[in-house]
Amino acid sequence: MADDGFRPEWAQKDFYAVLGVGKDASVADIKKAYRKLARENHPDSNPGDTAKHDRFKAVAEAYDVVGDAEKRAKYDEMRQLYGSGGGFRGGFGGGGGGGFSVDDLLGDRARSGGFGDMFGDLFGGGGGGGAGRRTQQARRATKGHDVETSATISFLDALEGVTISLRLASDAACPTCSGTGGKPGTKPHICRECDGAGYVVSSVGGAFSMNETCPACGGRQLVYDELCPTCHGSGRGTSSRTIQARIPAGVRDGQRIRLRGKGAAGENGGPAGDLYVAVTVAPHRVFARSGDNLTLDVPVSFDEAALGAEIKVPTLGGTPVTLRIPAGTPNGRTFRVRGRGATKSDGTKGDLLATVQVQVPAVLDQAAREAVEAYRAATAGKPLRAGLFEDAQG
């Protein structure tokens, strides 16, 4: 059973005074004060000093509440109500005819939705116990699970962006029990293991402890004696749906796209999870990609490379462009055509990188052979590989 939930006696404790800070202290000041006091009073540094041990526990308890933004806000609200209400009965001290009964408040929280809800939900609200406790009606809102899928798009769609349809099967509330986990028509009761807190407290040694999800109710706070016959108490099922997903321009092969709120539905009013799409880009027969640039191998003949030429090359999804090949262009030289590449994140485009590939004909007719033999004879006095052997000898 959790012993770290709502405690009525906290209304009488001034946690700010315990830490030696003011009520308007910043988060940094509270943390600084806690660390200082924790070092001074830690049991390992003060063996046998019971007073310092107790002081350390008090400091840890105070920081656990006012060191957490949500807990601090609720604690301040509770303290203000306590200070102006003339005292409370049933653990808040100071009886008085004008006071409130904690048992009454907690016992009626499932019906009223007023002060009882505030106290019952305080610090993760397990309730203070007692005969007046009733079944909790409110359950925590939980974000839905993230969903992952994959999609294959064309090379052109990757560059320009595309909207695709995705068929998804994801986790959802069980259609039979609407996510409660109980058999329809039956009523739940507060989990006896965690007393409705949704978590249990386990010791990790010394004066420290940690909260863990209750193994009996799975954090739901409520349990059913008769489980749903469809989901067997999990409260979850599967749903199948089709969504339209926009793949942005410039997406790369293997990139993972995040679509917020397109994942599994949340529980109890919680937000939906996210959808992650792993994108595979199909290869193109002619073009490839290097960052934001497109690459293209351009075949040219020996005479075009040797004598120079003007040749047309294609662009992806646009009109061809003319490349001017200078005389004496070597095989493998790359020419840059600006603005004909992939779309960048800022909306501008990269470049097209066209690389010359000099082609050697596999078969020569008689006239071509005679021309090549004449070229060989004309260049016979200029051996290409003379420097190769010199360099090989160092």
Q: Specify the CATH number for the domain of residue 372.
A: 2.60.260.20
Q: Tens of pLDDT along 242-295?
A: 888 899 888 889 999 999 988 877 776 788 889 999 999 999 999 999 988 999
What per-residue confidence (pLDDT) applies to 369?
92
Residues 54 and 89 in one domain: yes
Measured in degrees and rounded to the nearest 5, phi and psi for residue 203 equal: -85, 140
Q: What is the rounded distance in angstroms from the CA atom of residue 91 to the CA atom of residue 7?
A: 9
What per-residue confidence (pLDDT) applies to 205?
57
Q: Is residue 217 part of a domain?
A: no
CB atoms closer than 10 angstroms to residue 331: 13
319: Cα within 13 Å, side-chain hemisphere: 2
Q: Is residue 337 part of a domain?
A: yes
Mean pLDDT of 319-325: 94
Does residue 9 register a pLDDT over 50?
yes
Q: Are 176 and 236 in contact (CB under 8 A)?
A: no
Q: Is residue 205 part of a domain?
A: no
CB atoms closer than 10 angstroms to residue 385: 7
In the chain, how many domains are there?
Answer: 3
Residues 277 and 304 in one domain: no
Q: Is residue 273 part of a domain?
A: yes
Q: Is residue 244 part of a domain?
A: yes
Cβ-proximal residues to 107 (8 Å cutoff; 6+ apart), any chain = 116, 130, 131, 132, 133, 134
Tokens of 271: 């937000």
Helix, strand, coil percent values for the chain (each to nearest 5):
30, 25, 45
Residues 171 and 230 in one domain: yes
What per-residue confidence (pLDDT) applies to 171?
66
**H helix or E strand, kind and range, residue 384:** none
Residues 252 and 361 in one domain: no
- 349 secondary structure, DSSP code: B
Higher-pLDDT residue of 278 and 393 is 278
Q: What is the rounded distance in angstroms from the CA atom of residue 338 to the CA atom of residue 316?
A: 13
Chain mean pLDDT for the chain: 78
Does residue 163 register a pLDDT over 90?
yes
Mean pLDDT of 182-198: 85
Residues 243 and 355 in one domain: no
Residues 16 and 104 in one domain: yes
Residue type present at position 268: N
Residues 363 and 301 in one domain: yes
Mean pLDDT of 351-360: 95
Q: Worst-scoring range by mean pLDDT, 20-34, 195-209, 357-371, 376-390?
A: 195-209
Q: What is the rounded distance in angstroms from the CA atom of residue 323 to the CA atom of residue 278?
A: 37
CB atoms closer than 10 angstroms to residue 58: 16
What per-residue confidence (pLDDT) applies to 207?
57
Q: Is residue 65 part of a domain?
A: yes
What per-residue confidence (pLDDT) applies to 262?
86
Q: Tens of pLDDT along 81-140?
A: 765 544 443 333 333 433 333 333 334 433 333 333 434 444 444 444 433 333 333 456
Q: Are 342 and 250 in contact (CB under 8 A)?
A: yes
In a 3-state reduction of DSSP, which class is residue 361? coil
Distance (Å) of CA 269 to CA 174, 185, 218, 265: 15, 22, 18, 9
Does residue 176 register a pLDDT over 50?
yes
User: pLDDT-derived band of residue 203, with 50, 70 and 90 as boundaries?
Assistant: low
Among 281, 299, 318, where does a domain finish? 281
Q: Is residue 387 part of a domain?
A: no
What per-residue confidence (pLDDT) applies to 139?
53
What per-residue confidence (pLDDT) applies to 8?
57
Cβ-proximal residues to 67 (8 Å cutoff; 6+ apart), any chain = 27, 30, 31, 34
Q: What is the rounded distance in angstroms from the CA atom of residue 67 to the CA atom of residue 351?
A: 54
Structural domain harbouring 178: 147-188+224-281
What per-residue confidence (pLDDT) applies to 104?
39
What per-residue confidence (pLDDT) applies to 75?
82
Mean pLDDT of 351-359: 95
> Residue 71 maps to which CATH number?
1.10.287.110
Distance (Å) of CA 150 to CA 254, 279, 293, 313: 10, 6, 25, 34
Residues 108 and 183 in one domain: no
Q: Worst-scoring range by mean pLDDT, 234-238, 280-284, 301-305?
A: 234-238
Residues 170 and 64 in one domain: no
Q: What is the rounded distance in angstroms from the CA atom of residue 233 to the CA atom of residue 358?
A: 70
Q: Is residue 234 part of a domain?
A: yes
Distance (Å) of CA 110 to CA 117, 118, 236, 318, 371: 7, 11, 25, 68, 101
What per-residue confidence (pLDDT) applies to 310?
95
What per-residue confidence (pLDDT) applies to 123?
43
Residues 258 and 320 in one domain: no
Residues 19 and 72 in one domain: yes
